[in-house]
Amino acid sequence: MKKLLLFVAITASIQINAQLRTISYNDKSQQLNGMGIAPEKPLPGKPGILILPAWMGITQHEKDVATELAAAGYYVFIADIYGLGHYPTNTQEAGAEATKYKSNPELYQRRIKLALEQLPGQGADYSRLAAIGYCFGGAGVLEMARSGMGVWGVISVHGSLGKDASRKDSKIKAKVLALHGADDPYVTPQEVAAFEQEMRNSKADWQLVSYGNAVHAFSDKAAGNDNSKGAAYNESADKRSKKAILDFLEELFAKK
């Protein structure tokens, strides 16, 4: 019976994955190439999820997440932040591109908003949206919440939590879930504490979940398994975070 259920799940995933397609859109003269997928059986209210990728841009990791969310009934769009001609081929280039957007939140927010606007074209209800971001994208979804971009909730997965200290805290209406590797060397305890204080100051409905023995990129199998490198896959944290994401989204969109 278990093998049969596993086969059905894998078959369904393959069928949905065939629907994942590239969707081109523009920021003025810059071509952007995101990816969209529609569920075979949409949830009531047709909620949509925007995925903001990690610093390397759209990879198999984001595609797998999109496929899993579509299987759960969500319309999904993966944002292209960098645009054609600016896709990094190594970590040095990725760091440079990501830094450009982190240091210019207005530009980052504009690229995110353009991606968010693609979801209705996939079939999602534009009034019922949420966003998930990984690593660099985790910083992006928090910018969505800070700027009041209209999503119901945001989920940061092993993402940067801080912002420029000179920026004032403002009210955050979107619900916030931050999933964090407790041993992540790229997010200091001071940054975590500052994030918690920001959430309090912003009167947000927020959660911070820290996974023990997990470092940066704990949900990405391509990160390897060596924690000493600072970024590594952690199967337990990955499974627990996926459950936390689905629980958060289910609660978020429970009201009609």
pLDDT bucket at 123, cuts 50 / 70 / 90: very high
* Residue in this structure with the two tokens 């797998």, named with its chain if needed: 64
Mean pLDDT score, 212-221: 98
Mean pLDDT score, 77-92: 97
Contacts of range 37-40, beta carbons closer than 8 Å, 24 or more positions apart: 37/66, 37/67, 37/70, 37/75, 37/76, 37/122, 38/70, 38/75, 38/122, 38/123, 39/70, 39/71, 39/72, 39/73, 39/74, 39/75, 40/12, 40/15, 40/16, 40/70
Residues 6+ apart with CB under 8 A from 44: 256
Greater confidence (187 vs 18) lies with 187
Where in the chain are the domains?
2-252
Closest CA to 112 of 150, 84, 159, 64: 150
The answer to whether the beta carbons of residues 107 and 192 sit under 8 Å apart is: no
Q: What percent of the chain has pLDDT over 70?
A: 92
Alpha-carbon span 58 to 18, nearest angstrom: 17
Greater confidence (2 vs 99) lies with 99
Greater confidence (224 vs 10) lies with 224
Which pLDDT does position 256 carry in this prediction?
59
Which pLDDT does position 166 carry in this prediction?
85
pTM to 2 decimals? 0.91
The CATH number of domain 2-252, selected from 3.40.50.150, 3.60.20.10, 3.40.718.10, 3.40.50.1820: 3.40.50.1820
Alpha-carbon span 14 to 101, nearest angstrom: 34
Structure confidence by residue, pLDDT tens digits, 131-189: 999 999 999 999 999 999 999 999 999 999 988 888 899 999 999 999 999 999 999 99
Mean pLDDT score, 207-220: 98
The answer to whether the beta carbons of residues 145 and 176 sit under 8 Å apart is: yes
